[in-house]
Amino acid sequence: KSFKEVSKNELVKRNGHQILLTYQKVYSSVNNKLTGYIVVSNNMTYYNSLMKNLLHSMVAISIIAIVVFVVTSYILVFNVVKPIKRMSKVAQEVNADPNSGARIKELNRDDELENLATSINQMLDRMQSYIEQQKQFVGDVSHELRTPVAVIEGHLNMLERWGKDDPQILDESIKASLQEADRMKHLIQEMLDLTRAEQIDVQYPHEVTNVYDTVKRVVADLAMVHPDFEIRLDEDDLPQDTEIQIYHGHLEQLLVILIDNAIKYSTNLKQINVSAGLTKKEVNIIVQDFGEGISKEDQKKIFNRFYRVDKARTREKGGNGLGLSIAHKLVDNYHGEISVESVEGQGSQFKLTFPLISKKKAAKLKKLNENSELPKSNLE
């Protein structure tokens, strides 16, 4: 007897179980005839139970995995949604009342949501401080304008009642009214300057100015207007080609504000020293007077809008208390600094500091400026 062919395997399902059947044809070794079959059946009990266990385990693991997934997703989503809900609540409250003090509470987490909450809180603080400043400004402006208007009104009333026939009253009232009108014009111009000083980045992004020429020109102009003053200029430490990133009109305005103040608040010694110099990274311009000086307390406040040390006296001198706030805004916007050193009764020294720019950057800015098509004449 012999096996000619390879045995065949077949999986059969019986009573829900898999059974492995192996068939083998048997041939006679004498005449090569098929004499029968050998069939081996294997119940595969081990295999079947293994499969069953495997199936159970898989179902159990899947259920556990689904439960774990659902629970963690819920915790994660809840953790993200909760702070977002808080933020949205605060946004709604501030939207309803822009002065509301509502802020997003500390989230106690170290992630992007915490950063977002901090940024929103900072943004709200800033926005409210702008609103407050704006309110304060409108209040200050109307207060400042009220005085000249009241003075002009008083004179006009006087003129109407008695002045028509009295040449002396007529003359005095007209002079006083013209003076107040002039003060008002000056005040309005300064308020416009202050507002414009806040928009430098947009209007004058690529301006470059030669410091040496500008300081020399402004000092010469003011010396001509005030012949009773000696305005000394020391530019020895400033190379003639020193340039900084600023619109030339603004550098002139800064110098005029400081030198004008030095003149206004000078006492007996009518001398002003202007010096300009260079350090490694900065350009310094110093305006020094020997006048009345400013107390330590007032030095902190003089850069605030409408602040005057002596309101009545300053008004006589034509000051509105806006010059130094304009200067501060301008310098700030050009990434410079303004500082004061002063001793009461001895004099003051105001210092402007600007970052120095490289020759390469100056050339680049000039090129950009030539190509930009901003109609500057409208902005001045």
By CB under 6 A, is residue 334 in contact with ligand ADP? no
By CB under 6 A, is residue 121 in contact with ligand ADP? no
> Minimum distance from CB of 242 to ligand ADP (Å)?
25
φ and ψ at residue 209, rounded to 5 degrees: -135, 140
Identify the burial level of 288 via C-beta atoms within 10 angstroms of its C-beta, where 0-12 means exposed, 13-18 middle and 19 or more buried. buried
Residue 47 or 307 with smaller CB distance to ligand ADP: 307
Work out which of 204, 247, 265, 354 binds ligand ADP, going by CB under 6 A. Answer: 265
Q: From 194-202, 245-253, 273-281, 320-328, give the range in contact with ligand ADP by CB under 6 A.
A: 320-328
CA atoms within 13 A on the CB side of 38: 11
Binding residues with ligand ADP: total (CB under 6 A) = 22
Q: Across the chain, how many H-helices and E-strands are there? A: 10, 10
Q: From 25-33, 122-130, 259-267, 364-372, give the range in contact with ligand ADP by CB under 6 A.
A: 259-267
Give kind and range of the element (H or E) at residue 209.
strand 209-210
By CB under 6 A, is residue 253 in contact with ligand ADP? no
Work out which of 83, 148, 163, 321 binds ligand ADP, going by CB under 6 A. Answer: 321
By CB under 6 A, is residue 362 in contact with ligand ADP? no
Work out which of 94, 218, 322, 357 binds ligand ADP, going by CB under 6 A. Answer: 322
Residue 112 or 297 with smaller CB distance to ligand ADP: 297
Residue nearest to ligand ADP (CB): 319
> Minimum distance from CB of 226 to ligand ADP (Å)?
14
φ and ψ at residue 26, rounded to 5 degrees: -115, 125
Residue 316 or 370 with smaller CB distance to ligand ADP: 316
**Residues 291, 273: Cα–Cα separation, whole Å:** 12
Tokens read off for 254? 């800064």
What are the C-alpha distances in Å from 175 to residues 149, 156, 181, 193, 316?
Answer: 14, 11, 10, 27, 15
**Residues 247, 179: Cα–Cα separation, whole Å:** 32
Q: From 11-19, 90-98, 209-217, 321-329, give the range in contact with ligand ADP by CB under 6 A.
A: 321-329
Residue 193 or 207 with smaller CB distance to ligand ADP: 193
Residue 93 or 310 with smaller CB distance to ligand ADP: 310
Work out which of 283, 292, 329, 356 binds ligand ADP, going by CB under 6 A. Answer: 292
Contact 117, 104 (CB under 8 A): yes
Terminal Cα distance for the chain, rounded = 118
Q: Considering only residues 294-313, where is the footprint of ligand ADP by CB under 6 A?
A: 294, 302, 307-309
Tokens read off for 140? 């200050």
By CB under 6 A, is residue 291 in contact with ligand ADP? yes
Residue 279 or 339 with smaller CB distance to ligand ADP: 339
What is the pattern of x (binds ligand ADP, CB under 6 A) and - over residues 149-168? --------------------
**Cβ atoms within 10 Å of 102's Cβ, excluding its own:** 15
Residue 83 or 293 with smaller CB distance to ligand ADP: 293
Give kind and range of the element (H or E) at residue 79.
helix 45-96
**Residues 42, 103: Cα–Cα separation, whole Å:** 75
Residues 6 or more apart from 47 whose CB is under 8 A from it? 18
Find, among 367, 331, 370, the residue nearest to 351 by Cα. 331
Work out which of 48, 314, 333, 369 binds ligand ADP, going by CB under 6 A. Answer: 314
Residue 90 or 287 with smaller CB distance to ligand ADP: 287
> Minimum distance from CB of 252 to ligand ADP (Å)?
16
Residues 6 or more apart from 86 whose CB is under 8 A from it? 104, 105, 107, 117
Q: Considering only residues 270-289, where is the footprint of ligand ADP by CB under 6 A?
A: 289
The structure tokens 């006048």 sit at 291
> Minimum distance from CB of 191 to ligand ADP (Å)?
12
**Residues 88, 275: Cα–Cα separation, whole Å:** 55
Contact positions vs ligand ADP (CB under 6 A): 261-262, 264-265, 289, 291-294, 302, 307-309, 314, 319-325, 348
